[in-house]
Amino acid sequence: MKVYDKLYIGGEWVPSTGTGTFEVLNSSTEEKIGTIPKGSVEDAEKAVKAAKTAFEAWSQTSTEERAGYLDKITQGLQAKMNEIAEVVSSEVGMPINLATMIQAGLPSMTCGGYSGILRGYKFEEEVGNSLVVKEPVGVVGCITPWNYPLHQVINKVAPALAAGCTVVLKPSEVAPLSAFMLAEIIDEVKLPPGVFNLVSGDGPTVGEALAKHPDVDMISFTGSTLAGKRVSQLAAETVKRVALELGGKSANIILDDADLETAVKKGVQNCYLNSGQTCSAWTRMLVPKTKHDEAAAIAKKVAESFKLGNAPKGEGTLGPLVSKRQRDRVRGYIKKGTEEGATLVTGGAEAPEGLDKGFFVKPTIFANVKNDMTIAQEEIFGPVLCIIPYDTEDDAVRIANDSVYGLGGGVWSGDKEHAKKVARRIRTGQVDINGGQFNPMAPFGGYKQSGTGRELGTHGFEEFLETKSLQL
């Protein structure tokens, strides 16, 4: 049991002025595993004040000093990797072996990567008679989600600190424990007071307070498109910079010359990563109409090879969803798919047998899906795959782009150059060619209602910089 009864503000653990707490549950067992404070608007204001006070000195530190702190934070994350993995696996439901690599491994890798980017970055360039300099944007409010809780925190906090910004973090109240563990590490490495602040709370209270605060210079938000729109509206009142990483409904186009079995197998696995709780998951599988039934049969076999089980104990290859609310929401979408006429190949909305506790959903495949169906247009955020037939390559591209989202996607072909040509036509921020691996140094972000701005790598670092011209 991890009980946190204080917030981290101004370099100290301080009591919240709010009342009440949030309970954190093990999604596999529904048992309570922790509590955190339910922060208030006053807490958020104190944190912003601390960050503003710390900004002037922190923004003037050398790149080597900031890189050194990032190195120390990275070392702290590495030392707690197993503990972080177990905590996040319990909260979110990712099987422990994957959680160790992804939920705990990626954050330390990303944090360490930013110290390297910082040491090699050129903050000045001469343009004619001007010296163009890059400077930190200021106080940054970071609002993060529950599906990759520490990874999303580090994606924002590490580049912001590297750039010379100060930070107020509001993690998701659903899976917040790893953010508190990060605050403990930051306290141990003695980052200057006020440079990093942690205020837990809900979106309408703490999140909105940060989004509209006049002393917050930038909001970096990851979450639902609906919440992102609200953040944008509030941030517009003070014309602050906003970076948004929002929802997705990514298309995985399997071309006629692709290795069908490999493409379908990898497509199902991608869709089910983190029990489908991944914004960039390939949730729409587009296959030639002549190969639709064969693809559905392969997908069925792959889906049924997944075994549900207790995630932190490593008892299954597919864990639960994060909460009862999320489980019920996903089951509702599965019922909707059947009602709208899609073919249920495997899975379904019924509770899995033998799992009386935990927020589990059967791995589900729908075939003969039309792209105007609800399950093909709305983000489900669960282990639900839609197989959509297409007539021609142009038809496949049209279907892929027929979405309000544009975050991720995939293209499979026996000819890599052909796949790249098709990928360029898809209006989305990332496209994986023949299962190309995730690259934590490449820019990540979306087109359309999947967001604005980019995270990760140099592009993610530059989101936290302003540009100034000095005419000489």
Q: What is the pLDDT of residues 179-201, one digit of tens each?
A: 999 999 999 999 999 999 999 99
| Residue 124 exposed, middle or buried by CB count within 10 Å (0-12, 13-18, 19+) | exposed
- 304 as an active site residue: the answer is no
pLDDT exceeding 90 applies to what percent of the chain? 100
Domain identity same for 79 and 200:
yes
Please provide the average confidence, as pLDDT, over all residues in the chain: 98
What pLDDT, on a 0 to 100 scale, did the predictor assign at position 462? 98
What pLDDT, on a 0 to 100 scale, did the predictor assign at position 217? 98
Domain identity same for 360 and 381:
yes
State the Cα torsion 276-278-281-283 to the nearest 10°. Answer: 40
Q: How many CA atoms lie within 13 A of 269 on its CB side?
A: 11
Domain identity same for 242 and 256:
no
Domain identity same for 269 and 122:
no
What pLDDT, on a 0 to 100 scale, did the predictor assign at position 397? 98
Domain identity same for 373 and 466:
no
Q: What is the pLDDT of residues 414-463, one digit of tens each?
A: 999 999 999 999 999 999 999 999 999 999 999 999 999 999 999 999 99
Q: What is the pLDDT of residues 132-182, one digit of tens each?
A: 999 999 999 999 999 999 999 999 999 999 999 999 999 999 999 999 999
Query: Which pLDDT band holds residue 310 (cuts at 50, 70, 90)?
Result: very high
Q: What is the pLDDT of residues 88-124, one digit of tens each?
A: 999 999 999 999 999 999 999 999 999 999 999 999 9
Domain identity same for 163 and 95:
yes
Domain identity same for 434 and 459:
no
Q: Are 405 and 279 contacting, i.e. CB atoms less than 8 angstroms apart?
A: no
Domain identity same for 390 and 421:
yes
Q: What is the pLDDT of residues 255-281, one digit of tens each?
A: 999 999 999 999 999 999 999 999 999
Domain identity same for 398 and 421:
yes
Domain identity same for 201 and 273:
no
**Once rounded to an integer, what is the mean pLDDT over residues 466-472?**
98
What pLDDT, on a 0 to 100 scale, did the predictor assign at position 88? 98
How many angstroms separate the CA atoms of 147 and 106, rounded? 14
How many angstroms separate the CA atoms of 362 and 469, rounded? 57
Domain identity same for 203 and 335:
no
Domain identity same for 240 and 300:
no
Q: Are 232 and 242 contacting, i.e. CB atoms less than 8 angstroms apart?
A: yes
Number of domains within the chain: 2
The distance in angstroms from the start CA to the end CA of the chain is 60
What pLDDT, on a 0 to 100 scale, did the predictor assign at position 146? 98
Q: What is the pLDDT of residues 208-250, one digit of tens each?
A: 999 999 999 999 999 999 999 999 999 999 999 999 999 999 9
288 token code pair: 């030639």
428 token code pair: 């989305």
- 393 as an active site residue: the answer is no
Q: Which residues contact 247 (CB under 8 A, 6 or more apart)?
A: 224, 225, 279, 379, 405, 407, 449, 450
What pLDDT, on a 0 to 100 scale, did the predictor assign at position 228? 97
Q: Are 163 and 155 contacting, i.e. CB atoms less than 8 angstroms apart?
A: no
CATH of the domain at 330: 3.40.309.10
Location of structure tokens 């917030």: 7
CATH of the domain at 72: 3.40.605.10
What pLDDT, on a 0 to 100 scale, did the predictor assign at position 31? 98
Q: Which domain holds residue 418?
A: 250-440
**Once rounded to an integer, what is the mean pLDDT over residues 371-389?**
98
Q: Which residues contact 395 (CB under 8 A, 6 or more apart)?
A: none
> One of 245, 379, 455, 463 is an active-site residue; which one?
245
> One of 142, 279, 379, 455 is an active-site residue; which one?
279
**Once rounded to an integer, what is the mean pLDDT over residues 32-50?**
98
**Once rounded to an integer, what is the mean pLDDT over residues 306-333?**
98
